[in-house]
Amino acid sequence: MATKVLVPRLGEGVDEVTVTKWLKQVGDSIKELEPLLEVNTDKVDTEIPAPASGTVLKIIAQEGTPAKVGELLAIIGAPGEAVDSGKGSQVESDALSLSKGQKSFDPQPTNHHQLPTTHGDLGFISPVVAKIAAEHGVNLSQIQGTGLSGRITKNDVLAFVESGMKTIDRRPQTIVNRQSSIVATEGDQLIKHTSMRKSIAEHMVMSKHTSPHVLTVMEADMSRVAKHRAANKAAFERDGVNLTFTAYFMSAIVAGLKAYPMVNSSWSDEGVLIHKNINIGMATSLGEEGLIVPVIKGADNLSLLAMARSVNDLANRARNKKLQPDEVKGGTFTLTNHGISGSLFAFPVINQPQCGILGIGAMQKRAVVIDDAIAIRPMVYMSFVFDHRILDGASADWFLAKIKETLENWS
């Protein structure tokens, strides 16, 4: 009997995923628990394993399309086995069982009370698709279908509408976008947005529209931290931990949040919600793909060794796409170490609904004045961007000064 591959529940509050990549195609053989496809949620790419061994008989959800928990993704069975053409879904408990690698068998086909219609050369167009197209004034001939045999789906129409209703000007090699007024000429290259890039864009725009961003900058002398790291790096390595400067910055942030709890908060219409737990997000670059922010939860309970181990673990798994959706949720403050690429200071965007974000620039040896004498010290600029609804300039500076003090007096 054929086995249906359903969208599993990947974490609390995760009700929908986006199919990003099929690792197997129709006709390919696959073993039970072997990765079948990748999905994305909250910028986390997760592999979905096959619930059974066999042959991929049918792929339902196309790349780039959303799918809710419990919806049908694909069908696996014996070569040549007949399968139904429905796109039904199982109950949520089946989706939960699939996430544990258990099999979920074929349910009764979903009954459809409306039959598809035809529109000229477009093939079958369902009443739902036709209705949405009519409501938005969409010419279906302009849409490339992603459904079975090129059929236009509801998601195809909605994506077309959300994209700003792109139309093709019949003049050669010219594409006009009504929403952005961008004109592409011959030789230009259009790189389509990935799910991650779209998510980043939406979150950044939303953040700038949500809270008034204010920037304050200080610099810190990293001499004592550098000395401590040099003295302890080998010992940490014996415990399998790479002692990076990021661990020191995270620990200094903890000290700052403990001293000024108002920074560890979120704005609401009823008041400022001060969070009991200190959960620090760590912006991690994924190269051209974008960035992701895994969260170190309970950071105030960690020693420097434990902090460094958590930093290593989350950064490595983020770059290898091994994070779970829950590991990018629940942050109360964020660190972004933009200095890795050589940047001295920046104006980071707040990771909503948090109160602030700290940017760390590149550490450089600079000439500074100490006791009326010029000295060479390893210095870093620290850029603190905060929500001006919650903090004023003075309180923001007190918090940043506490981080500076912690780093400069490390022992």
1: Cα within 13 Å, side-chain hemisphere: 8
Q: What pLDDT is recorded for position 56?
A: 94
Q: What pLDDT is recorded for position 103?
A: 41
Paired with 267 in beta bridges are 272
Cite the beta strand spans of 361-401 per DSSP E: 364-370, 373-387
Residue 151 DSSP label: P
CB 119 within 8 A of CB 146: no
For the question of residue 392 being annotated catalytic, the response is: yes
What is the pTM for the complete model shown?
0.67
pLDDT in tens, 102-130: 444 333 333 333 334 444 456 656 656 77
The whole-number average pLDDT for the span 187-210 is 86
Q: DSSP string of 352-365?
A: TTSSEEEEE---EE
User: Residue 263 pLDDT > 50, yes or no?
Assistant: yes
Residue 316 DSSP label: H
Q: What pLDDT is recorded for position 166?
A: 44
CB 15 within 8 A of CB 68: yes
The whole-number average pLDDT for the span 258-283 is 96
The whole-number average pLDDT for the span 339-348 is 93
The whole-number average pLDDT for the span 308-324 is 92
**Smallest Cα–Cα separation from 268: which of 356, 351, 391, 389?**
389
CA distance 258 to 405: 14
For the question of residue 113 being annotated catalytic, the response is: no
Of all residues in the chain, the percent with pLDDT exceeding 90 is 56
Cis peptide bond upstream of 353, omega within 30: yes
Task: End-to-end CA distance of the chain: give it in Å, rounded.
Answer: 65
Q: Which residues contact 136 (CB under 8 A, 6 or more apart)?
A: 157, 161, 165
Catalytic residue from among 112, 136, 193, 388: 388
User: Residue 149 pLDDT > 80, yes or no?
Assistant: no
User: Residue 167 pLDDT > 50, yes or no?
Assistant: no
CA distance 277 to 256: 14
Q: Is 24 helix (H, G, I), strand (E, B) or coil?
A: coil
Taking phi over 0 as left and psi of -120 to 50 as alpha, with beta for the rest, 340 belongs to alpha
Catalytic residue from among 169, 228, 392, 397: 392
Q: What pLDDT is recorded for position 181?
A: 53
